[in-house]
Structure 1
């Protein structure tokens, strides 16, 4: 039996700025028909565990990615994944990568792409609902596209906040970035009401972010809820009050509890949740007014994993 090693790329192997550009380019490819992003199947592997085999292909790069994601509602890591990169023409295996680091980076990169396309240019205060490793990655990514000089954060535990502070300062030193100010909010509403850009990053089942709290001009990246149709961080009123942009219409209508539950409640229509990020990036759409509320509904795509895997293995992802 031949054992294939699963490798995690060394720290710094993928430049965050290059990844943001690569994710942007592949979302454009998806809109223009140069990439395929099928809806992933769901396989129930236990009473509270599902497995999602996620696949995407870039015709322009001649690369295919297969990501196997396990989402477990139990003790231990909530999500674990492995990424397989293939030559799209021959099927030749090019790399097998541990999925955790790449998932965090590509998720934050997608939020940065959406923020760059939709948030006000003068946005300087970033809000975080959740303070885990994904929060640190989002601070780094959003700072690449907006002049963020202050962060307002909420978490359920003080320990998580302290871990966030230490990790954020370490990341700033590694990136050579000036330190941002950090304010800890006593509740979620305090975060929402104080920021220009909001990232929701918690694996919630019931909504704890409410659209009634949204102020004029806010941009939201809804990121944290797992790809399950009964989980959501934000309520239907949030989608109803915002101009919603999704990563993929087809995937959202199968995997996003925030979209599906808002549709069930008649808070929104299919037309309200039909605008894809790639359509915004190709110039057909964008922020229309300074006071417009915008919301990027991110369920996560294998195409974004392809961007990371390509860069991690030395394959440039250049724009068209």
Structure 2
């Protein structure tokens, strides 16, 4: 349902100003980022998300993202609901990746490699499985214990689940590679990409974060969620700066894909790359879906 809600939102559009970024010192830990993300549909709904992203939280056994979403009436401005921003962010993030995969991944994609074993990874597997016939899930994580634990959780839902010890060899078998880390150095190298692979990059949201290298964008047809990715994501901004990627090389964003302004994948051997940084319209679509379903359940009761 959320994939479809995002499809409708990107097709019909809404008002979504550029989000605010504020760097926050965190003592001896890596600095954090405060994000403010407003969006509204005139006369219907307006909402804003406050998200604090602190990469050092892993050492404290805390999620890297702490967030709150406030949904309001677009007619009166009154608060209609507050939502767990972490859950909303996680679910709309994976739904956006699934929406992109529905346009870009091969229809017969059966094997997914998860790069990263955080809380997003299980949802990512479920989301991709909603749009492609996944059977085999491979999990790679810098923390082997976390990767093994996630693999154990996924075995209830998928026929084959394994822990990948080496990213390069796992990529040789993957149809879809989904990266969900806060890495500042490339983990996935373009030389490892096989013909027909779809590469899904969701972790990095700042120019100093990278999950893949310049060679990946040289070899791939590049797509983004919104134009914000051009400036905010190191996986796009860095190769633009080095000349490995030109603005004209970026094929389309999600809005163009769902409006059929671009056909998406055009060849079974084409390597496709989708980079998302998240967008306020995705949060708004998810919040509206949650709120309206809650109202429907209340009325049904």
Task: Note the alpha carbon deviations across 1:193-249, whole angstroms, 9 max, x for none.
Answer: 211111011111111111111111111111112x21111101122112111111111
Tell me how far apart the structure 2 counterparts of residues 195 and 274 of structure 1 sit (CA, whole Å).
Answer: 23
1:95 maps to which residue?
81
Question: 289, 298, 303: which is aligned to 2:267?
Answer: 289
Query: Once the 2 structures are TM-superposed, how far is the Cα of residue 162 of structure 1 from its aligned partner?
Result: 2.6
1:12 maps to which residue?
none
Question: 307, 317, 320: which is aligned to 2:285?
Answer: 307
**Residues 1:138 and 1:73: Cα distance change in structure 2 (over 3 Å):** closer
Q: What is the SS of the residue equivalent to 2:278?
A: coil
Tell me how far apart the structure 1 counterparts of residues 170 and 15 of structure 2 sit (CA, whole Å).
Answer: 37
Q: Which has the higher contact order (CA 8 A, sep 6+)?
A: 1
Query: Once the 2 structures are TM-superposed, how far is the Cα of residue 167 of structure 1 from its aligned partner?
Result: 2.8
Question: 208, 216, 220: which is aligned to 1:230?
Answer: 208
Q: What is the SS of the residue equivalent to 2:173?
A: coil
User: Does the 8 Å contact 2:148/2:163 carry over to 1?
Assistant: no
1:245 maps to which residue?
223
Counterparts of 1:48-87 in structure 2, within 5 Å, are: 48-59=31-42, 62-75=44-57, 76=60, 77-87=63-73
Question: 169, 173, 185: which is aligned to 1:206?
Answer: 185
Tell me how far apart the structure 2 counterparts of residues 73 and 304 of structure 1 sit (CA, whole Å).
Answer: 22
Aligned residues, how many?
285
> Structure 1: any 5+ residue segments left out of the alignment?
1-17, 173-178
Q: What is the SS of the residue equivalent to 1:82?
A: strand
Query: Once the 2 structures are TM-superposed, how far is the Cα of residue 274 of structure 1 from its aligned partner?
Result: 5.7
Query: Once the 2 structures are TM-superposed, how far is the Cα of residue 37 of structure 1 from its aligned partner?
Result: 2.2
Question: 173, 179, 197: which is aligned to 1:218?
Answer: 197
**Residues 1:162 and 1:183: Cα distance change in structure 2 (over 3 Å):** closer
With the length of structure 2 as denominator, give the TM-score of the two structures: 0.90
Counterparts of 1:1-320 in structure 2, within 5 Å, are: 18-30=1-13, 35-47=14-26, 48-59=31-42, 62-75=44-57, 76=60, 77-169=63-155, 172=157, 179-225=158-204, 227-249=205-227, 251-273=228-250, 275-285=252-262, 286-314=264-292
With the length of structure 1 as denominator, give the TM-score of the two structures: 0.85
Task: Note the alpha carbon deviations across 1:53-74, whole angstroms, 9 max, x for none.
Answer: 0112234x82222001111132
User: Does the 8 Å contact 2:69/2:84 carry over to 1?
Assistant: yes
Tell me how far apart the structure 1 counterparts of residues 74 and 250 of structure 2 sit (CA, whole Å).
Answer: 31
Tell me how far apart the structure 2 counterparts of residues 308 and 167 of structure 1 sit (CA, whole Å).
Answer: 25
Query: Once the 2 structures are TM-superposed, how far is the Cα of residue 169 of structure 1 from its aligned partner?
Result: 4.0
Q: Which runs of 4+ in 1 moved over 3 A?
A: none
Query: Once the 2 structures are TM-superposed, how far is the Cα of residue 315 of structure 1 from its aligned partner?
Result: 5.3
User: Does the 8 Å contact 2:151/2:162 carry over to 1?
Assistant: no
Task: Note the alpha carbon deviations across 1:94-135, whole angstroms, 9 max, x for none.
Answer: 111121111111111111100111111111111111122211
